[in-house]
Amino acid sequence: MAMIGKEIRLERIMDRNTGRTVIIPMDHGFTLGQIEGLRNMTWIISEVSEGGANAIVLHKGLVKSGHRKHGRDIGLIVHLSAGTSLNPDPNDKVLVCSVEEAVALGADAVSIHINLGALNESRMIESAGQVVKDCNRWGMPLLVMIYPRGKGIDATSPQAVGHCVRVAEELGADLIKTNYTGDTESFRRITRACSVPVLIAGGEKGGDRETLITIEDAVRAGAAGVCMGRNAFQRDNPRQFIQAICRVVHENVAAGEALELQV
């Protein structure tokens, strides 16, 4: 029964025609404070949903701030991990929510954060093991956000990114978010060697065209879409830019054409 629950919930996150997804994480306030783009949560959630995104990521306390109150429906992923930029080790993440709480909130999935190479890597992996157990019990899909982060680690190294993807897969992730390696050939080797969908992270805000080209390249290399926060919600017109992202991910529209269509 639990696996049926996962399948039903994943239908609200993954496009059934393309098998891809556009997820907009909006959990950054916990880490960075009252950042630009996330000051009015009700408004930005509406913009993201009307832009056509498949799902959003929120911490439990913000679910009530606008999710599904009006407008287009959108999938809900509740983030279980947290840490702040004020911590001497900003790569440290701990669990602040449970799968059971996410079920009560009406979540379609949950997500956790792991930094391989961080000082507290072992604790994050241990926590992930417990979350996977609870997800399997409750039929809740799990998005693992996993990155190579630590002293002397290249965050886009194909070897390091591939290691992250393999760890998440072996833990039992249903979806994996990680860094794009920067070229299609190396990323294609990673996606082909993984049995679950791999999504690329957005990172800090970049230019419109630059961001869409990265997404186009990643999808061509086998990415199942994007899980992109600041590169989406910090745009001057987030709704239009997310529409452009969705064209690239779901309609295979070239980056330049997707950008022209939003004007």
- pLDDT by residue, tens only, the chain of 263 residues: 667 899 999 999 999 999 999 999 999 999 999 999 999 998 999 999 999 999 999 999 999 876 666 678 899 999 999 999 999 999 999 999 999 999 999 999 999 999 999 999 999 999 999 999 999 999 999 999 999 998 899 999 999 999 999 999 999 999 999 999 999 999 999 999 999 999 999 877 789 999 999 999 999 999 999 999 999 999 999 999 999 999 999 999 999 899 886 65
In the prediction, which pLDDT does 254 show? 93
List of domains in the chain: 2-261 (3.20.20.70)
Give the SS3 label for residue 21.
Answer: strand
In the prediction, which pLDDT does 262 show? 60
In the prediction, which pLDDT does 67 show? 60
In the prediction, which pLDDT does 70 show? 67
Site of tokens 């900003």:
90
Nearest to 131, CA basis, from 149, 117, 119, 146: 146
Rounded to whole angstroms, how far apart are CA atoms 246 and 62? 25
Burial label, 106 (beta-carbon count in 10 A; 0-12, 13-18, 19+): exposed
In the prediction, which pLDDT does 64 show? 83
Round to the nearest angstrom and report the end-to-end CA distance of the chain. Answer: 47
Active site residues: 27, 147, 177
The whole-model pTM stands at 0.95
Find out whether 51 and 249 touch, Cβ atoms under 8 Å.
no
In the prediction, which pLDDT does 204 show? 76
